[in-house]
């Protein structure tokens, strides 16, 4: 039995502290593994580089401190390009379909289902919650334009392979999505960026490009999940310190 996965090497917990105000100019960074992202600034920490991520919602959070970052080895960066401005977030394409009688779990029930599935597959609960938020925003009956369904947006074929009989049942959907993410993490040797990219665009695309595929939606999706994961871990640290 594999031990519970540690936090992926690409991700570090967000730190508590002040960071310089964000400027409009940003840098587009390409990593050796093919992952690309925008950052607002870099900071050398020993033999590693911290790439600070932009605020997810500057209009709302302009007065807040953005402390989310990725930390990578210095030699993992192969190219840095200056960009004039950060791109706007992609418009949401997944919309919830309301159906009378749908039972939406409470926050506590949702957490319990995520924790149970995470324990079964040795996947961090906060990572699962971050994926679910990016996929469906917590909408039980979310359906994407490509036909992905439920909380973790399972395609019908994937749901069937994972033993999910009803993708709109929260417990089944979470169990199936977790099992699928576990398979991807195993396939890519716990490389979180590749596993998330495969979850979003399919493992075929990741294998074809030998890394995160050059799809804007996929790259922003990977960064979004990592940013949310960092935020959740930061909140846990703060709660423990109180």
Q: Which residue do the tokens 């690309």 mark? A: 36
Task: Measure the CA–CA gap between 133 and 37, rounded to whole angstroms.
Answer: 20
* Ramachandran quadrant class, 210 (left: phi over 0; alpha: psi -120 to 50; beta: rest): left
Residue 11 DSSP label: B
Residues with catalytic annotation? 135
If one counts every other C-beta atom within 10 angstroms of the C-beta of residue 79, the result is 10
Q: How many CB atoms lie within 10 A of CB 100?
A: 4
DSSP classification of residue 25: -
- Rounded to an integer, what distance in angstroms lies between the CA atom of residue 16 and that of residue 193? 24
CA distance 146 to 160: 16
Contact call for residues 79 and 29 (beta carbons, < 8 A): yes
* 152, 174 Cβ separation under 8 angstroms: yes
Q: In this structure, what token pair is assigned to residue 227? A: 């940013």
């Amino acid at each position: 039995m594999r031990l519970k996965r540690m936090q992926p090497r690409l991700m570090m917990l967000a730190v508590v502290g002040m960071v310089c105000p964000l400027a409009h100019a940003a840098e587009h960074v390409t990593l050796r593994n093919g992952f690309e992202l925008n950052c607002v600034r870099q900071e050398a920490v020993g033999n590693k580089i911290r790439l600070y991520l932009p605020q997810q919602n500057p209009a709302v959070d302009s007065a807040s401190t953005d402390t989310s970052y990725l930390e990578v080895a210095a030699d993992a960066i192969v190219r840095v390009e200056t960009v004039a401005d950060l791109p706007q977030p992609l418009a949401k394409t997944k919309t919830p379909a309301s159906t009378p009688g749908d039972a939406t779990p409470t926050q506590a029930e949702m957490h319990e289902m995520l924790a149970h599935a995470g324990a079964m597959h040795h996947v961090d609960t906060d990572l699962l919650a971050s994926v679910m938020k990016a996929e469906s925003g917590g909408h039980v009956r979310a359906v994407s334009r490509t036909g992905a369904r439920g909380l973790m947006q399972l395609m019908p074929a994937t749901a069937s392979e994972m033993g999910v009989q009803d993708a709109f049942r929260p417990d089944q959907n979470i169990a199936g999505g977790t099992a699928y993410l576990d398979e991807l993490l195993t396939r890519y040797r716990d490389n979180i960026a590749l596993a998330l990219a495969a979850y979003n665009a399919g493992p075929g695309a990741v294998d074809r490009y030998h890394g995160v595929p050059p799809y804007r939606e996929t790259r922003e999706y990977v960064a979004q999940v990592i940013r949310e994961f960092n935020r959740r871990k930061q909140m846990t640290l703060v709660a423990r310190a109180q």
